[in-house]
Amino acid sequence: MRIVFIGDIFGRSGREALEKYMPRIQEELKPDIVIVNGENAANGAGITEKICKQFYEYGVDVITTGNHVWDQREVIAYIARDKTLLRPVNFPQGTPGYGSYKFRLNDGRSILVVNAMARLFMDPLDDPFKAMRDVLEKEKLNKTCNAIFVDFHGETTSEKMSLAHHLDGRITALVGTHTHIPTADCHILEKGTAYQTDAGMTGDYDSVIGVQKELAMNRFVKKMPGERMRPAKGKATLCGCLVVSNDKTGKAKSIEPIRLGGILPETMPEG
């Protein structure tokens, strides 16, 4: 199975990059599924029904989120109706929405997409390690589904690495989001799970993690709350990765980075 994952879409520039590069991704990489983290898509804070529908029109199959999922209040009612818009699975019981979705391909194969959120320097949610163990009690790699992909939204590299090793061999891939910087550690873990600490942001990198740099710098220089953070508006780099799995085992065969456009060096997996 060919799985394309695209990191945090940040503001208008990120949305425009997704629209621009999706045809190339579809043509050259021929993905079976496209998963996008969209939690910063609406002006850098949250996501809306309108944006979700735009992403689906571009060819996105599943949208993941994170700690900014509720920033646009209208999404609270919408997320309960859209099973392909995920919020972290370790939110408390009774939270609107879904933490996972099983996507079925036309040929009968299926992939479980799970969205989880870390706790170090983040909101105090339920234990993501236990939440993932609970998911995997019901879903078994290559038994109930052909692949399992996890977007782990978190601040620290150690927590992301720890969960990946904890789940190694039981999932196809775990890719981190939230820090908005692509890491250079795409690799296959010992028991067959693909891993990358952070897929990176799809947004303008002439910024401070997507925010207009002057506004962000002022918070450090003046130590005052200052103006509301606003997305940078330059040309965006689309960042993500391609995971290829073995259909017989569900484990990963390869993971390669994707970077297109903007100011970062481009890299694109071979088709």
Mean pLDDT (the chain) is 96
Residue 222 is assigned to a structural domain of this protein:
no
Domain that holds residue 76: 2-207+236-260
Residues with Cβ < 8 Å from 119, sequence gap 6 or more? 125, 127, 128, 154, 159
Q: What are phi and psi of 238, to 5 degrees?
A: -85, 125
Under 8 Å between Cβ of 102 and 86: no
- The reply to whether 218 falls in a domain is no
The pLDDT score that the predictor gives to residue 130 is 98
Helix, coil or strand: residue 224 = coil
Gyration radius of the chain's alpha carbons? 17
Residue 222: per-residue pLDDT: 86
Number of domains into which the chain is organized? 1
Distance between CA 69 and CA 38 in Å, rounded? 9
At 129 the pLDDT is 98
Burial degree of 42 (CB within 10 A; 0-12, 13-18, 19+): buried
Asked whether residue 245 is assigned to any structural domain, the reply reads yes
Q: What is the dihedral of CA 89, 90, 92, 98, to 10 degrees?
A: 0
- Inter-helix orientation angle 11-29/49-58, to 10°: 20
Q: Which residues, in sequence order, are CB contacts of 94 under 8 Å at separation 6+?
A: none
Q: What is the pTM of this model?
A: 0.96
Does 265 fall in a domain? Answer: no
The pLDDT of 35-58, averaged and rounded, is 97
At 149 the three-state DSSP class reads strand
- Per annotation, catalytic residue among 68, 153, 178, 180: 68
Cα separation, 39 vs 115, in Å, equals 12
Q: Give the span between the Cα atoms of 88 and 122, in whole angstroms.
A: 12
Q: Answer yes or no: are the C-beta atoms of 202 and 258 closer than 8 Å.
A: no
Residue 225 has pLDDT above 80, yes or no: no
Asked if the structure places residue 54 within a domain, the reply is: yes
Predicted pLDDT of residue 261: 97
**226 within some domain:** no
The per-residue pLDDT for range 155-174, each reduced to its tens digit, is: 999 999 999 999 999 999 99
Q: Is 190 a member of any domain? A: yes
Return all residues near 204 (Cβ < 8 A) that are at least 6 apart.
10, 11, 13, 14, 210, 231, 232, 233, 234, 235, 236, 237, 262
> What CATH number should be reported for the domain holding residue 157?
3.60.21.10
**Residue 61 corresponds to which amino acid?**
D
pLDDT value at position 120?
93
Domain for residue 39, yes or no? yes
Model pLDDT for residues 67-126, shown as the tens digit of each residue: 999 999 999 999 999 999 999 999 999 999 999 999 999 999 999 999 999 999 998 999
- For the question of residue 178 being annotated catalytic, the response is no
